Structure formats: C-alpha cells, structure tokens
Structure 1
Amino acid sequence: MPRISAEDKNLTVLNIFTTDAPEKQEGLLGAMREIVDAAAYPGWMSSTVHAGVDKPGTANFIQWRSRADLEDRYNAEEFEHRTLPLFGELTTSIRLLQNEIVHSRSASGDRVDISPARGDYTVIAVFGVAEKNQDALVDALGPSMDFLGDVPGFVSHTVLKGIAARGFEGSFVVSYSQWENKEAWDAYQAVPQDDKPAARQEAEQRTASLLTSVDSNTYRVVHTRAAGQ
C-alpha cells in the first residue's frame, strides 16, 4: 500500500474534485478507478482514490517520481482531450495540487499508510496563504500540532507544502489527517475553546492569523493501486 513519509523526496499530487450530486460523485469514482487501473505512465508510482463523505467530491492522492514525469502526463493528448473534458462534465471544480511532504506523524510512531483496507476517516484541508507566510503556516500546521498524539482516535497527520497547481491561484498548504472514525473527529472538533490545551490554542491562533482561505472535506479511501500491481 502507498506510504506517506517526509523522508521520501518524490512529488505528491492531490487532485481534488467537487461536484453537486451524489450520482456525479459515483461517476467520478468510476472514471478514476478506470484511469488508475490502466495507469502505466513513466514515473507514476501510485494512486489512492478517496470518496467524499461530508460533501460530494473525490480526492486522488498520487505519487510521482518527479515533476518532469507529471508534466509529461499533463502534456499528453489523452489528458488534454479526454481526461480533463470527462472530469469537466462531472465536476463543479478541479484542483490539481503539486506538493512536497514536509511533516508527517502517526499516533503509533509507525509509517503512515493509506489503503481501503484501513477504514480511516480522512480529513483533507487546503489552506490558502500569502507566499511570504507559507513556511510559517507549514510550521503552525506541522510541528506545532504534535499534541495530536494525545487525542483519542487520532491516527496520523501529514502536512504538504504546495509547489504548483492547476485550478488554484496563489500559495497553499495541505493538511491530510486520518482518524479512527467520524465520532473521533467530531469529538476533537467539538472541544470547547477553554478546554483545549495551550499548545492547540496557540497553533490554531497562529494558523488563523496566516491563512487567506480554507476549504476542507472528509473522505473514505475506496481504491488504490501502485506501479507494478
């Protein structure tokens, strides 16, 4: 199964699609499965497809050997004339986000894996930020969040620094977190402000002071495949 690690220096791409109806989400998932199962692109390493839970949509967590390999894929006639038009019919927005993983930790201290077999409740948030504040936001969302290890139901937390994008203007940082279930995530969100530990209050205040936008959704992993499978 794909592994998330800040030690890996490969390119991580998050393709996030929104749509306006559950049946269109199913159409997106079917199209994405077909593409993933047929993938044999030079430099492609793995793809993991996520289905939206709170809002209709999908996310594809893709690992590439390099940006050059990804650009070859983007410049291919199939991508421009078949893949993008197909997704355009089913979506209300398309964001193709290129990232480097800069921080990752798990509650167990082991590596972070993503797979349909795990059953994680996954939260993906995209934070817009001024370019000059991007590194500060990475720190606020990364090392400053180590208190998560003490939160019941927490599984893992990964911060990705945006380096390029299609469908998103400006600088960004992505948070990818896994929880045991929806109840654990909801309980974490519901903690009253005065009951939050000081480290959490400080991290949240820093984050709020730096970001220019935020968009998030919750997901479940439904399909994955790696090169060679």
Structure 2
Amino acid sequence: MPTISVDSGYLTVLNLFTTDAPQKQDRLLAAMREIVDTAAFEGWISSTVHSGQDRLGTANFIQWRSGKDLDRRYEGDEFKHRTVPLFDEITTSMKLLRTEVASTQRHPSLGDTTEISPDRDDYTVIEFFGMDPENQERVIAALGQQEWLLDTPGYRSHSVLRGLDAHTGFDGPFAVSYSQWDDKESYDTFRELPETEWPADRKKTQELLDALVTARDWNSYRVVHTRSAP
C-alpha cells in the first residue's frame, strides 16, 4: 500500500475535484478508477482515489518519480483531449497540485509509517492553504509543529505537503494538510470544540494561520481505491 514519507523523494500530486450532484461524483470515481487501473506511465509510482464525504467531490493522491515524468503525462494527447475535457464536464472546480512531503506526524500507536489504503478505515481530511510567497515556509512549519494533536481523541496522523506549483486551479504559493482520524464524529468534535476549551498551543497555531493564510478550503474523504506500479 502507498505510504507518505519525507524520505521517499517522490513528487506528490494531489488532484482535488468538486462537483454538484451525486451522480457526477460517481462518474468522477469511475473515471478515476479506470485511469488508475490502466496506468502504465513512465515514472508513475501509485495512485489512491478518495471519495468526498462532507462535500461532493474526489481526490487523487498520486506519487511520481519526478516532475519530468509528470510533464510527459500532461503533454500527452490522451490527457489533453480526453481526460481534461471529461473532468471539465463533470466538475465544478479542479485543482491539479504538485507538492512534496514536508513533514509527517503520527499517533505513537500507529508506528513509524503513514499508510493510505482502502483496506484502512481512516476518515481523511485534506485541507488546502494559500498564502503570500514570503509566508509559505512559516505556514508549513506551523502546520507541522502540532504535537498537541497527539492528545486529541480520534487523531491518527497528519502530513504536510509543500506546494511546488499548480497545473490548474490556483495561482500562488500553497500548502496542504492530509490528516487521518478514527471517524467523522471524532473529527467533528475536534473541529467544533469551542475556542475557550482549546489548548494553548492550538490557539497559538490558529492565530498564526489566521494571520498568514489568504485562502483556505477543506473536505473529508474515504479512500476507495489504490494501485501501485509493479
């Protein structure tokens, strides 16, 4: 199963889609499964498809050997003339994001590896942050330095991805948080906890993000399919 690691050296691509009808989400998932199951691109490592939960949409967490390998995929006729037009037809927004793993943190009970797979029961949250260029590293550091999460009921892990560039969907620097939770209830409890009950370190992190972040969006997901290169 795919893993998230600072040391892998992989280019991590996050393709985030929203849509406006359940049947369109089903079409998105079917199209993504077809692409993943037939993938034989040079330099492709793995793809893991996520189904949106709180809002309609999908996510694909893709690992590539290098940016050059991904460029060949984007420059191919199939991607430009079949894949992109199909996604344009059934989505309301699309972000194709190139990133690298900046940090990972796990609850001690999960061992040393952050795994992503439909064989797990993670409630996954992907949160996107935009910021001014001079603040990208400060935001990444703030997102990564959250040891107080280890004491949060239901928390499993979170990984911070440094934005490199967006093929489409966003202009400017960005970062992404990919977190895993026991279930929706534990995440909702965490998110909706009154600020008066937050630990001091959470307040400090939130104040910093509020000061630095210029764009923010999130959705929750379940992993529904994955495949890795032989």
TM class, shorter-chain normalised?
over 0.9
Aligned length: 227
In the TM superposition, residue 110 of structure 1 has moved relative to its aligned partner by 2.1
Match status 1:115 vs 2:117: yes
Write the distance in 1 (CA, Å) between the matches of 2:165 and 2:222.
25
In the TM superposition, residue 23 of structure 1 has moved relative to its aligned partner by 0.7
In the TM superposition, residue 190 of structure 1 has moved relative to its aligned partner by 2.0
Match status 1:5 vs 2:10: no
Write the distance in 1 (CA, Å) between the matches of 2:159 and 2:47.
17
Hey, what does 1:148 align to over in structure 2?
149
Write the distance in 1 (CA, Å) between the matches of 2:9 and 2:33.
26
**One-letter amino acid matched to 2:31:** A
Hey, what does 1:75 align to over in structure 2?
75
In the TM superposition, residue 9 of structure 1 has moved relative to its aligned partner by 1.4
**One-letter amino acid matched to 1:181:** D
Query: Aligned match of 1:178 in 177, 180, 192?
Result: 180
Write the distance in 2 (CA, Å) between the matches of 1:173 and 1:208.
14
**One-letter amino acid matched to 1:72:** R
Q: Residues 114-156 of structure 1, C-alpha deviation per residue, up to 9 Å, x if partnerless?
A: 001111101001101001100000011112x111111111111
Write the distance in 2 (CA, Å) between the matches of 1:205 and 1:100.
25
How do residues 48-63 of structure 1 correspond to structure 2 at under 5 angstroms? 48-63=48-63
Hey, what does 1:85 align to over in structure 2?
85
Write the distance in 2 (CA, Å) between the matches of 1:99 and 1:211.
18
In the TM superposition, residue 111 of structure 1 has moved relative to its aligned partner by 0.6
Hey, what does 2:228 align to over in structure 1?
226
Q: Residues 17-52 of structure 1, C-alpha deviation per residue, up to 9 Å, x if partnerless?
A: 110011100000000000000000000000000000
How do residues 184-223 of structure 1 correspond to structure 2 at under 5 angstroms? 184-223=186-225
Q: Residues 158-214 of structure 1, C-alpha deviation per residue, up to 9 Å, x if partnerless?
A: 100100102211110101000010011011112221211111110111111100010
SS in 1 for 2:7: coil
Query: Aligned match of 1:139 in 121, 141, 147?
Result: 141
Runs of at least 4 residues of structure 1 off by over 4 A? none
Write the distance in 2 (CA, Å) between the matches of 1:2 and 1:62.
9
**One-letter amino acid matched to 2:136:** Q
Write the distance in 1 (CA, Å) between the matches of 2:162 and 2:212.
14
Hey, what does 2:132 align to over in structure 1?
130
Write the distance in 2 (CA, Å) between the matches of 1:94 and 1:191.
31
Write the distance in 2 (CA, Å) between the matches of 1:41 and 1:117.
25
- Root-mean-square deviation (CA, aligned residues, Å) is 0.7
Write the distance in 2 (CA, Å) between the matches of 1:187 and 1:30.
32
Hey, what does 1:94 align to over in structure 2?
94
Question: Scaled by the length of structure 1, what TM-score is found?
Answer: 0.98
Write the distance in 2 (CA, Å) between the matches of 1:154 and 1:173.
20
Structure 1 stretches lacking a partner, 5+ long: none
SS in 2 for 1:89: helix
Structure 2 stretches lacking a partner, 5+ long: none
